[in-house]
């Protein structure tokens, strides 16, 4: 019972931290991009973004008011002592963090639009499970899915003949139509698979990966590099006012696919991409992997 409360507290604190502090990789990249804008609105807007990050830390408040819908990606060892009550702890921590950080209560019930008031509702928060046979530890990844940055998301199945050119065209058009309102520079995740659903899932995985890492597949890594340069040449960042870049990074995840289809998924994160991972051992020692801030800050 006590342990259950302890795990809930760890998770609630983790949610709070992710809402206040950008992960190290995102903040580092923003600082790099900011240093490229030497004048005008581009420079001013990055100035605001950096000031905002500092103020959020100072006041201990969510750095953006849209703290999103909470999405958890859980990897749990089958011998983790609290595996049976883990879901309950995540839900309880979500509600607690919402009311006490506080986060914005975003979750509305499906089709009814009624706001539940605590970010908990029918199948919300969103939780994806992965089991680690024999393991006794736990990893919880959190992504705060804001509205503006989720809007560009889409997936489509292309004809294989459309090839890599078709993929690129689809990405350019999506970023042109929807990028400005998603608070660029964007973290762009591209998933390539067989159907709309798996491609979308791969694109989500792509933005959970830290900036600076590359696709394991050689061709995927090449596409990342090309798309990043090409999207940057449009220059929609910062915040649609125009500048030298458009993206924080482009990440591609791909999988062997059906010869008759070429599925493409696109998921975008904003400059305020808030994600993090807490790794917890069987004795409930917790460690953040994407934030240097200490637990309890």
Partner 1 sequence: MKKIITTPITYDQLKDLNAGDTVYLTGKLATCRDAGHRRVIKENIMPENFDFNGGAIFHAGPIVRTNPDGTFTMISIGPTTSRRMEPAEAEFIEKTGVKMIIGKGGMLGKTTEACKKFGAVHCAFPGGCAIIAADRVKDTYGVEWMDFGMPEALWEMDVEEFGPLIVSIDTKGNNLFENNKVAFSEKVTELKDKL
* Among 91, 270, 286, 290, contact with ligand SF4 (rule: CB under 6 A): 270
Residue 270's Cβ-count burial label (10 Å; 0-12, 13-18, 19+) is: buried
- Give the nearer residue to partner 1 in terms of CB position, either 45 or 93: 45
* Among 64, 89, 186, 254, contact with ligand SF4 (rule: CB under 6 A): 64
Among partner 1, ligand SF4, none, the one that 226 touches (CB under a kind-dependent 5 to 8 A) is: none
Cis peptide leading into residue 220 (ω within 30°): no
Q: What is the SS3 assignment for 61-125? A: CCCCCCCCEEEEEEEEECCCCCHHHHHHHHHHHHHHHHHHCCCCCCCECCCCCCECCCCCECCEC
**CB–CB of 259/158 below 8 Å?**
no
* Among 13, 25, 37, 66, contact with ligand SF4 (rule: CB under 6 A): 66
State the minimum distance, in angstroms, from the CB of residue 217 to ligand SF4.
Answer: 29
State the minimum distance, in angstroms, from the CB of residue 39 to partner 1.
Answer: 13
- Give the nearer residue to partner 1 in terms of CB position, either 30 or 138: 30
Question: The tokens of 238 are what?
Answer: 């910062």
For tokens 């807490």, name the residue: 278
**Would you give the distance in Å from CA 233 to the centre of its chain?**
24
- Give the nearer residue to ligand SF4 in terms of CB position, either 223 or 272: 272
- Residues 132-161 within binding reach of ligand SF4 (CB under 6 A): 146-149
- Residues 163-202 within binding reach of ligand SF4 (CB under 6 A): 182-183
In this chain, which residue has its C-beta nearest to ligand SF4? 146
Single out the residue of 52, 61, 275 nearest to residue 44, CA to CA.
52
SS3 284: coil
Which residues share a beta bridge with 268?
Answer: 188
From start to end of the chain, where are the E strands? 69-77, 126-132, 138-145, 154-158, 186-193, 247-254, 262-269, 275-280, 286-288
- Give the nearer residue to ligand SF4 in terms of CB position, either 33 or 183: 183
CA atoms of 74 and 203, how far apart (whole Å): 17
Q: Residues in the site for partner 1, rule: CB under 8 A?
A: 41, 44-45, 48-49, 51-52, 55-56, 59, 61-67, 102-106, 108, 115, 117, 147-148, 151, 165, 168-169, 172-173, 176, 180-181, 183, 230, 233-236, 238-242, 270-272
- Give the nearer residue to ligand SF4 in terms of CB position, either 110 or 147: 147
Among partner 1, ligand SF4, none, the one that 266 touches (CB under a kind-dependent 5 to 8 A) is: none
Binding stretches for ligand SF4 (CB under 6 A):
64, 66, 146-149, 182-183, 270, 272
């Amino acid at each position: 019972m006590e342990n259950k409360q302890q795990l809930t507290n760890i998770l609630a604190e983790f949610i709070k931290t992710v809402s206040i502090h950008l992960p190290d990789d995102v903040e580092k990249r923003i600082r790099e991009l900011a240093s490229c804008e030497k004048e005008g609105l581009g420079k001013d807007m990055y100035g605001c973004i950096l000031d905002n990050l500092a103020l959020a830390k100072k006041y201990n408040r969510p750095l953006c008011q849209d703290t999103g819908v909470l999405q958890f990606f859980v990897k749990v060892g089958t011998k983790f002592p609290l595996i049976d009550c883990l879901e309950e702890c995540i839900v309880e921590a979500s509600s607690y963090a919402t009311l006490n950080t506080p986060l914005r209560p975003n979750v509305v019930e499906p089709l009814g639009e009624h706001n539940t008031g605590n970010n908990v509702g029918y199948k919300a928060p969103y939780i994806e499970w992965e089991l680690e046979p024999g393991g006794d530890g736990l990893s919880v990844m959190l992504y705060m899915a804001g509205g503006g940055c989720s809007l560009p998301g889409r997936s489509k199945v292309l004809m294989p003949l459309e090839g890599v050119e078709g993929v690129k065209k689809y990405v350019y058009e999506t970023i042109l139509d929807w990028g400005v309102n998603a608070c660029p520079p964007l973290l762009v995740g591209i998933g390539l698979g067989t159907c709309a659903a798996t491609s979308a899932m791969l694109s989500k995985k792509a933005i959970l990966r830290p900036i600076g890492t590359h696709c394991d597949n050689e061709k995927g890594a090449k596409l990342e590099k090309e798309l990043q340069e090409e999207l940057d040449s449009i220059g929609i960042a910062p915040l649609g006012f125009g500048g030298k870049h458009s993206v924080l990074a482009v990440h591609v995840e791909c999988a062997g696919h059906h010869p008759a289809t070429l599925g493409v998924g696109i998921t975008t994160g904003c400059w305020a991409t808030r994600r993090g991972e807490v790794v917890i051992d069987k004795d409930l020692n917790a460690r953040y992997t994407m934030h240097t801030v200490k637990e309890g800050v």
